[in-house]
Amino acid sequence: MLYRQRLAWGALALLLAATVGVAQEPIRPDPVRSGRDFQAPETRAMQDDDGANPGMLWVARGRALWDEAVGAARRSCASCHGRADETMRGVAAQYPRVDPSSGRLLNLELRIQQCRGERQDAPVPRFESDELLALTAYVAHQSRGMPVAVSVDGAARPFFDAGRAAYFQRIGQLNLACTHCHDANWGRMLRGDRLSQGHGNAYPAYRLDWQAVGSLQRRLRFCNTGVRAEPHPFGAAEYVALELYLAWRAKGLTVESPAVRR
Amino acid sequence: MAQALVKIQAQAKRGEAVEVRALIQHPMETGFRRDDMGKPIARDIIREFVCTYAGEEVLRAELQPAIAANPFLVFHVLATESGEVAFRWTDDKGVVQSESARLTVS
């Protein structure tokens, strides 16, 4: 009897371990589908036509800013990087990545801020400012159609692990983690919206809701307030790490920036 | 940060209907909203949009507060002669902006 009881407890413990193991094991939605697939046909058409995609207004502005000399150094982006359509091709697909000099994980916005502040000796553009969004959209646009390809090994590993932990962490008054919507329930309705798989390959994207281009972090903050959690400030390490996990999770998708979302 | 993207084919045959598209960056603030302090936000919309083709007015549009930010206007002009297709729009703040494209008719 005692033996049997022990056996039962043992089996239960094994089962629990397996369940916890599955929850922590990185899972990816299958098949991986871009957020584009969850949009209305009109929104998809708007994204596909550069003449109708309002995000292209930010890209055009970014193109002008790229060649504009700024700061005490009177240096433009082009002074160092040359033609963006050559040097920036595929770059956005590799972000967030670890900055070798500081050891910090940087997303595209933080990398542009670093350039502005340290190399161009210019005022650092604020998060979600038109200048930063335009430059980010312009650089990201150069990678459009290229597969998302971030490195999660070596120096990036601790950030990746932190991002993954954040993805599975229940937060807010609604006590939900990212995974509960975007792995377990994608494709189903949440009030008037269809839940996407939560990939970041669209960003910076034009959201009809915002009537403007916004960053992935703006979207993440919106997710946070949606589950009634306190959002982190823009540029927080927690968000950048989460962005890295999301990019790894979006493997198989291509960069769509500037995409159009509802 | 005012920008506009204008699209029109560069060449057309005489008598052909040519599609003209203008995507204008503008907040189109309705005037019905209030800010965080409860103060009304002043209306700022594009009041008037005019398109001229070879010096002749071909379209005049009066925009309304219900039109979304970054309005997208699509219309057709009949290709008659080579010339400039010019756009001019004025907003509530009195800012006048313009953009143009060249259409060659054969």
pLDDT in tens, B60-74: 999 999 999 999 999
pLDDT > 50? residue B104 = yes
CATH number at residue B48: 2.60.40.10
Q: What's the domain range around B68? A: 3-105
Q: Assess B5–A contact: CB distance below 8 Å, yes or no.
A: yes
Where does A142-253 have alpha helices with state H? Answer: 157-168, 178-182, 216-226, 237-249
Mean pLDDT score of chain B: 92
The C-alpha of A258 sits at a distance from chain B's nearest C-alpha, in angstroms, of: 15
ipTM over 0.85 threshold: yes
Query: What φ, ψ does residue B64 adopt, rounded to 5°?
Result: -120, 160
Selecting from B25, B27, B68 the residue whose C-beta is nearest the C-beta of A57 gives: B25
Q: Assess A210–B contact: CB distance below 8 Å, yes or no.
A: no
Q: How far apart are the C-alpha atoms of B61 and B70, rounded to whole Å?
A: 15
Structure tokens at A120: 């161009």
pLDDT > 90? residue A23 = no
pLDDT in tens, A94-142: 999 999 999 999 999 999 999 999 999 999 999 999 999 999 999 999 9
Residue tagged 């000796």 (tokens): A121
Query: What φ, ψ does residue B65 adopt, rounded to 5°?
Result: -60, -20
Q: Is A150 exposed, middle or buried (0-12, 13-18, 19+ CB in 10 A)?
A: buried
pLDDT in tens, A176-201: 999 999 999 999 998 888 999 999 99
Q: Write down the pLDDT at residue A5.
A: 58
Annotated catalytic sites of A, by residue? 223
Q: Evaluate if pTM is beyond 0.90.
A: no
- The H or E element containing residue A111 is helix A108-114
The answer to whether the beta carbons of residues A240 and A110 sit under 8 Å apart is: yes
Q: Write down the pLDDT at residue A41.
A: 94
Give the rounded percent of residues in chain B with a pLDDT score beyond 90: 95
Q: How many domains does chain B have?
A: 1
Mean pLDDT score of chain A: 90
